[in-house]
């Protein structure tokens, strides 16, 4: 039976922002590569096995609280990364950050596109085991290199000459993206053409809107702001370029980097720690605008460096392959669905027996006929030892062998118990008690882990 997954998102309603691109690529990847495993719906009402939320809409907050099934929240930004992106009054901004944190904490699992943000989420009070890193993915069928003729046709449409060395920036026009630095570097490199694809996706609430709007409307002679480009036309923009330059101050995992890497375009990025684990330092990095300008001039004038940078991008593109990312999603969904179907079966023992298990002396239980042997061996059942009348402390065990005996007389029952006494470690009183029962179940086990109250399923 297929696992039913409902994707809840409004990301594709706002043009020119990476969340929509990441969501669309992920959805298509699963629909094309895992339809035999998953029954995927989008924004459908009702309960399913897994609800995967991709945007932080208020309606999603209430659905997350109300819907049955496993609730997964995609973390496309952190509260701190909102600074430099949008401009709100202090009270409203603080309330938004509080809301986002509460939303993340309410989910059963969080998915992040960059492993470096795990520690930030943990610092917010989110349990590490709830966080799963799965990178973004970009289709090579949608982002690929054109031949020379088609590439020049695109350049002609944007008023660029064949001999121009073209550097592009991609993303929303906002301070966090380093747009002011992009302009400053362009002024330092008057012999290079600069093109920025993106606009004010969130309008007037964009941080620095009026300052940036003035620059967009009156750019230097070698800079073009071409506005928000529909994603289906973005491959044209990468093809007209020679370099992707991203002077961002904060990111998660820009889709533009993967899109440009599919075309083997050299990458010039700010030396942010967040890139190291996901791009393996296969890019050219600078710390300030002078270094950025130097790197761009070197790429323009040094064919060997340019070829090396192309190889860097090819390495990135190869790593984030369709098969690699698809397998991670399949493994994740399958794992969390399996965990959601697991039931806890508690076996109550005396405090004395519980202590013997803790000390490693007792490795076999004797049970009466009340227990279902098949259920104890079911992989969807967690077998847990707990002290009678106390569930704050328990031990998860893995039954390794179960033997069921019935129609026992007192002599044969006693013989059976004494035969396994080295593992049962029964008191004389218990030996006498169990020897008088006509049916016994012997469960040999190994300890999996010790549990405390927060880890127990109290339902």
- Do the Cβ atoms of 80 and 102 come closer than 8 Å? no
CATH number for the domain spanning 354: value is: 2.30.130.30
Residue 328 within a domain:
yes
- Do the Cβ atoms of 17 and 206 come closer than 8 Å? no
**What span, in angstroms and rounded, lies between the C-alpha atoms of 412 and 431?**
12
- Which segments in the chain show pLDDT lower than 70? 12-18, 81-88, 202, 389-392, 451-459
Residues 336 and 368 in one domain: no
- Decide which of 263, 284, 319 is a domain's last residue: 319
- Do the Cβ atoms of 296 and 167 come closer than 8 Å? yes
What is the maximum span of the chain, computed from C-alpha positions, in angstroms? 101
Residue 53 within a domain:
yes
Residue 410 within a domain:
yes
Residue 315 within a domain:
yes
Residues 154 and 113 in one domain: no
**Helix H or strand E segment including 354:** helix 351-358
Residues 166 and 290 in one domain: yes
Residues 203 and 314 in one domain: yes
Gap between the terminal Cα atoms of the chain: 25
Q: Which domain holds residue 52?
A: 3-137+324-340
- Do the Cβ atoms of 326 and 33 come closer than 8 Å? yes
- Decide which of 340, 374, 400 is a domain's last residue: 340
- Decide which of 278, 310, 340 is a domain's last residue: 340
Residue 142 within a domain:
no
- Do the Cβ atoms of 170 and 197 come closer than 8 Å? yes
How confident is the model at residue 390, as a pLDDT?
65
pLDDT tens-place string over residues 33-91: 999 999 999 999 889 999 999 988 888 888 988 888 999 999 988 877 666 566 667 78
Residue 127 within a domain:
yes
Domain count for the chain, please give it. Answer: 3
Residues 448 and 356 in one domain: yes
Q: What is the dihedral of CA 383, 389, 390, 391, to 10 degrees?
A: 40
CA 129 distance to own-chain centroid: 12
Which of left, alpha, beta for 69 (phi over 0: left; psi -120 to 50: alpha)?
Answer: left
Residues 189 and 309 in one domain: yes
Residues 83 and 159 in one domain: no
Residues 206 and 92 in one domain: no
How confident is the model at residue 449, as a pLDDT?
77
Residues 198 and 294 in one domain: yes
Residues 122 and 268 in one domain: no
Residues 201 and 311 in one domain: yes
How confident is the model at residue 453, as a pLDDT?
46
Q: Is the pTM of this model over 0.85?
A: no
Residue 207 within a domain:
yes
**What span, in angstroms and rounded, lies between the C-alpha atoms of 238 and 425?**
72
Residues 62 and 123 in one domain: yes
Among candidate residues 273, 271, 275, 277, the one with its CA nearest the CA of residue 256? 275
Edge-to-edge strand order for the sheet containing 3-8? 38-42, 3-8, 50-53, 70-75, 109-112, 131-133
How confident is the model at residue 455, as a pLDDT?
45
Residue 87 within a domain:
yes
Residue 47: strand, helix, or coil: coil
CATH number for the domain spanning 202: value is: 3.40.50.2000
CA 252 distance to own-chain centroid: 11
**What span, in angstroms and rounded, lies between the C-alpha atoms of 199 and 172?**
5
């Amino acid at each position: 039976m297929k696992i039913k997954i409902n994707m809840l998102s409004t990301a594709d309603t706002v043009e020119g922002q990476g969340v929509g691109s990441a969501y669309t690529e992920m959805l298509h990847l699963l629909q094309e590569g895992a339809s035999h495993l998953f029954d995927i719906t989008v924004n459908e009402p009702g309960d399913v096995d897994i609800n995967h939320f991709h945007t932080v809409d208020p309606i999603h907050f209430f659905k997350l609280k109300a819907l049955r099934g496993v609730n997964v929240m995609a973390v496309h930004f952190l509260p701190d990364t909102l600074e430099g992106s949008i401009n709100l009054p202090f009270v409203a901004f603080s309330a938004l950050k509080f809301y986002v944190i509460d939303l993340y904490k309410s989910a059963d699992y969080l998915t992040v596109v960059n492993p470096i943000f795990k520690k930030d989420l943990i610092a917010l009070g989110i349990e590490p085991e709830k966080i799963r890193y799965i990178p973004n993915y970009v289709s090579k069928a949608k982002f690929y290199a054109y031949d020379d003729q088609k590439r020049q046709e695109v350049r002609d449409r944007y008023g660029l000459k064949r001999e121009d060395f073209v550097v592009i920036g991609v993303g929303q026009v906002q301070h966090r993206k380093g747009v002011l630095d992009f302009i400053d570097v362009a002024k330092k490199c008057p012999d290079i053409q600069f093109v920025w694809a993106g606009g004010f996706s969130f309008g007037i609430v964009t941080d620095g809107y009026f300052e940036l709007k003035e620059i967009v409307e009156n750019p230097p002679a070698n800079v073009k702001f071409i506005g928000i480009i529909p994603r289906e036309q973005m491959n044209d923009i990468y093809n007209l370029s020679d370099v992707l330059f991203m002077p961002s101050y904060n990111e998660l995992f820009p889709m533009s980097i993967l899109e440009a890497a599919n075309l083997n375009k050299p990458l010039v990025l700010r030396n942010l720690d967040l890139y190291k684990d996901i791009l393996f330092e296969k890019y050219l990095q600078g710390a300030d605008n002078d270094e950025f300008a130097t790197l761009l001039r070197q790429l323009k004038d040094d064919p060997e460096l340019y070829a090396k940078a192309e190889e860097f991008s090819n390495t990135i593109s190869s790593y984030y392959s369709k098969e690699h990312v698809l397998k991670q999603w399949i493994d994740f969904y399958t794992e969390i669905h399996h965990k959601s179907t697991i039931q806890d079966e508690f076996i109550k023992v005396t405090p004395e027996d519980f202590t013997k298990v803790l000390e490693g002396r007792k490795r076999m239980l004797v049970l009466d006929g009340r227990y279902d042997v098949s259920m104890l061996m079911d992989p969807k059942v967690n077998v847990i030892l707990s002290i009678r009348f106390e569930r704050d402390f328990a031990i998860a065990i893995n039954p390794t062998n179960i033997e069921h005996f019935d129609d026992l007389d007192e002599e044969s029952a006693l013989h059976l118990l004494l035969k396994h006494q080295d593992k049962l470690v029964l008191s004389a009183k218990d030996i006498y008690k169990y020897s008088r029962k006509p049916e016994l179940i012997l469960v040999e086990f190994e300890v999996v882990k010790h549990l405390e109250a927060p880890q127990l399923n109290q339902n």
